Amino acid sequence: MESTPAQPLTSRPKVPDDPKSGAFASLRRLTPFIRPYRVQMILMTLSALGATLVGVAVPLLTKDLIDGPIAHHDKAALWPLGGLVLLFGVAEATLFWLRRWFLQRAALGIEADIRNAFYRHLQKLPVAFHDSWQSGQLVSRVSGDINSLRRFFGFALIFLVVNGATFLLVGGALVFIHAVMGLIIYAAAVPLILYGRLADRRYHRQSRAAQDQAGDVATLVEESALGIRAVKAFGRQDLLFARFDERAQTLRRLELTKIRTLSELWAVFAAQPQLVLSLCVLIGAYAVSTGALSLGTLVAFISLYLTLLWPIESMAWLMAQSQEANSAAERVLEVLDTVPNIADAAATVRPRPASAGELVFEDVSFTYPNSDRPVISGFDLRVAPGETVALVGPTGCGKTTLTALVPRLYDATAGRVLVDGVDVRDLPLAELRRKVACAFEDPTLFSASVRENLTMGVPDASEEQIEEAIEVAQAGFVNELPWALDTRVGEQGLTLSGGQRQRVALARAVLGRPSILVLDDPLSALDIHTEGKVEEALHSVLRGTTGLVVAHRPSTVLLADRVVLLTPPGPRGTTIAAVGTHQELLRTCPAYRDILSQTSDLVEEELAEVSR
């Protein structure tokens, strides 16, 4: 399988300095995920607010206790008020429990829905998207970023509302108790709010940078884990660790910058209410000494103000959590906002073709994203139903790209690819991929059982169909594994050899007996003996199936009825150099003989045989 041109990794979006970027703009766009849980969210908010209000009522009861029964030494009146305080305490605890109960159903449900939507959308995005995105960046978004959103919706959002309401309600009560001290508290909040907005924007930029860097670290860890055999074989552990350490140190520096900003925020938000409290105590003490204020009223005022200390101090942390969540929402939406350029066609009723399996390329051209050089240009080919065509050409000429256009892993940038007379872009993807099955040189197996890997395309396959596919692919070794077909093959199938993985992937491709079978040099890892057996079995399969085969060796070419020789890669893209049978091209096309002779010494012998 040839490699596609290297594509640049998606660059990190520049975090805008516009103040509106930090004002929950991205979080507001997640409202559709909240709507199904709005009842639980409202009840959760009301429970939290109710617990706060019950806590506020206790200082007012304290005022009545001091100025009433205590001042008048009325012991009998203590019991009702004391019982009321106890009742309020039980009510507060119950409301706290209700908040947590609703939290589990709302926040965790929102998190699960966002994660499911993200993963589902990820599966819809075309191969070109995955070519250009680091997998670690996607993993960090689906895990860490969505966790940040859950913490925001389950805690920070609720207490932003509750703390704001508490400040307004308690502040109003304080103004009512003593107008001067109450207005001082409101006036002192203005510079705190202005400072908080400035620090908030700074924290937003720092949070986004740290989250992006965490994605880079995740990418490096994933690559190191998947490539551990090569790393160990070449003794490059120190090199990989140096790269990891460099990125981890950068992440540490970015996180420390965040911590410094958060520490500054917390210090300011903790110091301001203490200073205001000191001022209120001085003013209140003076008013009590002059008889302008009762002691019970002062105690109630100070007690009420003390209930504001935690809401004010926690605002620093809540603001930081909100900005982390907003940055996380930005990163999640960057993926969700990506519109798949390979759109699924609507299902329509079409007349059944006279003979299924016709494959036609009409003036097809293709250019990879972020490239201005076409890979394929003006490619025309008709593969009749039941016919097998081999694609042969030098490395980089677009053979693998052509095979990827048939199941719409990519879409042609010009021209059409037709299956049974219908443009593949007009076929529903599910229908197209039932008709077309693929096997690649570098097979992908999943961390699942052999059976699950085999039946990925045909989940309802019978045991007879599975055994037939195993026999065609000469994959009988699977029955000798510890648990036979139920044996798990490990991540990417690394518990199997390269040839074994190719045979399992080939069995998966032929299992459903598709109308069109696309084989991208799927036998490259097999020994000559096994390859011969597989090719012999494939002859029977391909007899009734249209085949498009990428071939590098004469033995694979022999599977084909016709051979298409592609021109070398050039600035104008690859096209067809020659078409004919294997024997015809051997006899008439020096370029064809030269390509095959690079992979086999049997070409000269075969050419001599043809000449005779």
With respect to residue 469, please indicate whether it lies within any of the assigned structural domains.
yes
Q: What interhelical angle do 528-542 and 498-511 show, nearest 10?
A: 10
With respect to residue 251, please indicate whether it lies within any of the assigned structural domains.
yes
- H or E segment to which residue 418 belongs: strand 414-419
- Average pLDDT along the chain, 612 residues, taken 10 residues at a time: 38 43 74 88 82 70 62 63 71 78 82 92 85 83 88 84 82 83 86 85 86 85 75 77 88 90 86 87 86 78 82 84 88 89 71 76 88 87 89 86 90 90 89 85 81 85 87 85 86 77 85 84 70 73 82 78 87 85 86 75 51 52
The count of domains in the chain is 2
Residue 132 · residue 369 · CB < 8 Å: yes
- Paired residues of 359 in beta bridges: 383, 419
With respect to residue 131, please indicate whether it lies within any of the assigned structural domains.
yes
Residue 420: strand, helix, or coil: coil
- The reported pLDDT for the residue numbered 231 is 75
With respect to residue 347, please indicate whether it lies within any of the assigned structural domains.
no
Domain shared by 252 and 391, yes or no:
no
Q: Given 336, 370, 392, which residue is the final one in a domain?
A: 336
- H or E segment to which residue 380 belongs: strand 376-383
With respect to residue 218, please indicate whether it lies within any of the assigned structural domains.
yes
Domain shared by 318 and 383, yes or no:
no
Domain shared by 490 and 397, yes or no:
yes
Domain shared by 295 and 365, yes or no:
no
Domain shared by 226 and 316, yes or no:
yes
Give the CATH number, domain containing residue 574: 3.40.50.300
- The reported pLDDT for the residue numbered 114 is 93
With respect to residue 5, please indicate whether it lies within any of the assigned structural domains.
no
Give the CATH number, domain containing residue 78: 1.20.1560.10
With respect to residue 471, please indicate whether it lies within any of the assigned structural domains.
yes
Strand order in the sheet with 546-550: 436-440, 516-520, 546-550, 388-392, 562-566, 576-580
With respect to residue 345, please indicate whether it lies within any of the assigned structural domains.
no
Domain shared by 332 and 377, yes or no:
no
| Residue 462 DSSP label | -
Q: Given 336, 371, 398, which residue is the final one in a domain?
A: 336
Domain shared by 543 and 448, yes or no:
yes
Q: Domain span at residue 233? A: 24-336
Domain shared by 299 and 384, yes or no:
no
Domain shared by 314 and 435, yes or no:
no
Domain shared by 379 and 327, yes or no:
no
Q: Given 287, 303, 336, which residue is the final one in a domain?
A: 336
Residue 379 · residue 415 · CB < 8 Å: yes
- The reported pLDDT for the residue numbered 314 is 83
pTM for the model stands at: 0.75
Domain shared by 317 and 402, yes or no:
no
Domain shared by 231 and 371, yes or no:
no
- The reported pLDDT for the residue numbered 568 is 84
CA dist., res. 52 & res. 75, Å (int): 29
